[in-house]
Amino acid sequence: MDEPSKPSWFERLGALLSPEPETRDELLDILQGAYQHNLLDADALAMIEGVLQVSEIQVRDIMIPRAQMDMIDIDDTPDEFIPSAIEAAHSRFPVFDKNKDDIIGILLAKDLLRYYTEPSFHVREMLRPAVFIPESKRLNVLLKEFRASRNHMAIVVDEYGGVAGLVTIEDVLEQIVGDIEDEYDFDDAEDSIIPDKFGKFRVKATTEIADFNAFMQSKLDETDFDTIAGLVINRFGHLPKRGEAIAFDGFKFEILRADSRRVHMLLIEKSAQQPLL
Q: Tell me: the pLDDT tens digits for 38-58?
A: 777 777 777 777 787 778 888
- Above 80 in pLDDT, residue 188? no
List the domain range (segments joined by +) for residue 160: 60-177
Give the pTM.
0.59
pLDDT at position 1 over 90: no
Q: Are residues 73 and 109 in the same domain?
A: yes
Stretch 168-186: mean pLDDT: 70
pLDDT of residue 175: 78
172/240 same-domain check: no
Instruction: Kindly state whether residue 242 falls inside one of the protein's structural domains.
Output: yes
Q: In this predicted structure, what is the pLDDT of residue 251?
A: 93
Q: What is the mean pLDDT of residues 129-156?
A: 92
Identify whether 87 is part of a domain: yes
Closest CA to 80 of 128, 118, 112, 126: 112
**How many CA atoms lie less than 13 Å away from 221 in the CB half-sphere?**
10
- Give me the pLDDT at residue 179, please: 61
In a domain, 33, yes or no: no
- Give the number of domains in the chain: 2
Same domain, 209 and 109: no
Domain boundary among 156, 177, 198: 177
pLDDT band at 184 (very low <50, low <70, confident <90, very high): very low
When pLDDT is cut at 50, 70 and 90, the band that residue 276 belongs to is very low
Mean pLDDT, the chain, whole residue set: 82
Residues 6+ apart with CB under 8 A from 83: none
Distance CA 93, CA 107 (A): 5
Is there a contact between 114 and 97 (Cβ–Cβ < 8 Å)?
no
DSSP H helices in 161-238: 169-177, 209-216, 228-236
Pair 98, 161 in one domain: yes
- pLDDT tens, position by position, 72-93: 999 999 999 998 888 888 889 9
Type of residue found at 212:
F
Q: What is the CATH number of the domain that holds 130?
A: 3.10.580.10
- 115 and 151 in a single domain? The answer is yes
Q: Which residue has the higher pLDDT, 270 or 22?
A: 270
Residue 74, H or E segment: none
Asked whether the beta carbons of 93 and 106 are under 8 A apart, the reply is yes
Return the higher-pLDDT residue of 89 and 2.
89
Among residues of the chain, what percentage have pLDDT more than 70? 83
* Residue 251 falls inside a structural domain: yes
